[in-house]
Amino acid sequence: MSVNRVVLISGKTGTGKTGLAAALQDRYGFHVVQTRDLLGGKLELHDANERKPLIDRAMALNGETNSRWVLDGVLPQLERLGGSPGIVVDHVSSIEQIQQFRESAGSAIVHVHLYASRETLRTRYAGKEGALPGAPTYEEIDHLSDPVAELLKNDADIRIFTDRTDADDTLVRVAAHLQLLTSPQLRCVDVLVGGQYGSEGKGNIVAFLAPEYDVLVRVGGPNAGHTVATPKGKRVHHQLPSGCGASSAKILLGPGITLHVPKLLKEIEEFEIAPGRLFIDPCATIIEEVDIVEEQRGVVGAIASTGSGSGAAKARRIKNRGSKADKVCLARDVPELAEFLGATLFHLEQAYRDGKSVLLEGTQGSALSLYHGDYPYVTSRDTNVAGCLAEAGISPSRVRRILMVVRTTPIRVADPDGKEGNTSGHLKHETTFDDIAQRAGLDATEVNDAEKTSTTGRNRRVGWFEWSQFRRACDLNAPTDIVLTFADYLSAENQQARRFEQLKENTIKFIEELERVAQAPVSLINTRFPKKKVDFTDLRSIIDRRTWSGRTTDR
């Protein structure tokens, strides 16, 4: 007999046996065998009057086969299991039936017995089959005698009193006994965040890494656009992970994300993402027109916010808790998203259990954090690792590597329009793209044309590298790896580098200094960011110095 797990469920009618079997099948992939099917009959929920013939037949088979008929019915199915973790038998009704399994499979057998008080069993039956006209009483259909039930309870490897547990509670307890739950020691999530004021080039890095991962997770909102170079040219992601076009990985949008439905649906169509691959958490916040209007009237002119409505939607979600007059719309309330809905925690746990690799893509940059940035010149969420993990529903214990992306010359969006003198925030060593281009030997016109924000198309301010801000981002994120982008802004000759030693000497010294300050290696180096349309098909712009792969997990 195969070593696949065989779970035998016993218990009186109404204890929750069939619900447990179905849950083990749905959640963990067990194959369910129902003994009523082995008897050659199909007993539907409303067929209470048909129980007696089946019970009589089962009793007769016990005598004819020495209680082996259930085992004989299960064995052929067990041999065809393939990758299934095992079989659940719903249900066994005697010690002798269980003994036949134990003699055949030994330790592969797990006996689960469910029991409840007589009052509870009667109530449950009365609410279902017993409510139908002409239905027998509970005592008439209760084929498992109290003495036999007691023997089964004493024999069980797992026994659960279901008076005060629902199906989910029972499943969790049984799954724990079966060691189906994932250990907190399992680390298979890599997180990528921006280390400055956003626009560090995270999208290209994610697209480069994505083929190594089984699951891609995105948090944030449509206020951040991630531009990616692909064989088909320039692509911009606003709400989907930047690597979704470069891989076939499962895509998860966590409960902390804020979504603009029309833009999301357009992006789903553009990247040809089908249901069954993309799962949007039902609790994700939906941006409504009122949110966009509010931001256009306020933070856009005050701090040069993108005005996507993401922050206003999050604020409204907090403010309007319990309000019937001004209800907050979540993803579960949008019919157009129904086919994509799925609890991200469920899919993450499934990934952990199956040893899959997960890449979480952060949003914007560390210095724009609502809590750790230079308020009020900040965004509407915490953009550091801890905040991204919270939005996705991922425990810090799951994290294997933290990649922090920084560019050689940090940028901020241009100051707000108008004569009020408002600013988009502090930039310590501010300079111009003309100056940077001249020093690096780049075409100033190309650089200026390329440096537009992905979401709003606004110009950018730029400055020289801020070492103290970089170290602060390291303190907040504790990166295991640094990713450096825009190496060509130090020297145009870096654009031709394909290996680390081909970089200019001053660039190598800059990288060595980054590693000293971060106390972490610079593992990926982006030598140039696309500036002209033709550049977006050139995919050899990253020098990979990693000693690890996304495919490798600590198991």
445 labelled ligand-binding? no
Q: Cα 52–53–59 angle (5° rounding)?
A: 90
Q: Is 506 annotated as a binding residue?
A: no
Do residues 214 and 350 touch, judged by C-beta distance below 8 A? no
Q: Is 488 annotated as a binding residue?
A: yes
Q: Name the maximum alpha-carbon separation found in the chain.
A: 95
Residue 364 annotated as binding site:
yes
Known binding residue 486? Answer is: yes
- The pair of three-digit structure tokens given for residue 374, joined into one six-digit string: 């230079």
Ligand-binding site membership of 246 (annotated): no
Question: What is the secondary structure of 322-377 as a DSSP string?
Answer: T-SSSPPPBGGG-GGGGGGB--HHHHHHHHHHTT--EEEE--S-GGG-TTTSSTTS
State the DSSP code for 83. Answer: T
Can 177 be counted among the known catalytic residues?
Answer: no
Torsion of CA 376, 380, 386, 392, to 10 degrees: 180
DSSP string covering 304-336: -----SHHHHHHHHHHTTT-SSSPPPBGGG-GG
State how far the Cα of 188 lies from the Cα of 552, in Å rounded to an integer.
8
Residue 227, annotated ligand binder? yes
User: Is there a binding annotation on residue 415?
Assistant: no
- 487 annotated ligand-binding residue: yes
Distance, CA of 148 to CA of 167 (rounded, Å): 24
258 marked as part of a ligand binding site: no
545 is in an annotated binding site: no
Q: Is 203 annotated as a binding-site member? A: no
Is 5 among the annotated ligand-binding positions?
no
Query: Is 223 labeled as ligand-binding?
Result: yes
460 is in an annotated binding site: yes
Separation of alpha carbons 336 and 183, rounded Å: 36
Dist. CA 241–CA 423, nearest whole Å: 30
* Residue 225 annotated in ligand binding: yes
- In the 8-state DSSP scheme, what is residue 459? B
DSSP for 397-437, please give it.
Answer: GGEEEEEEEEESS-EEEPPPSSSS---S---TTEE-HHHHH
Q: Kindly state the tokens that stand for 390.
A: 């919270």
Q: 527 has which bridge partners?
A: none
27 is in an annotated binding site: no
The catalytically annotated residue of 91, 226, 260, 347 is 226
Half-sphere exposure of 489 (CA within 13 A, CB side): 30
Can you say whether the dihedral through the CA atoms of 157, 162, 163, 165 is positive or negative?
A: positive
For the stretch 229-253, what's the b/e string if a residue is b when 16 or more beta carbons lie within 10 angstroms of its beta carbon? beeeeebebbbbbbbbbbbebbbbb
Q: Is 224 annotated as a binding residue?
A: yes
- Of the candidates 518, 482, 464, 462, which has an alpha carbon nearest to the alpha carbon of residue 403? 482
Phi, psi of 109 (to 5 degrees): -90, 130
CA dist., res. 6 & res. 77, Å (int): 11
The position carrying tokens 């009193």 is 161
Provide the annotated binding site for Mg(2+): 225
Catalytic residues: 226
Provide the annotated binding site for IMP: 223-226, 306, 364, 379, 458
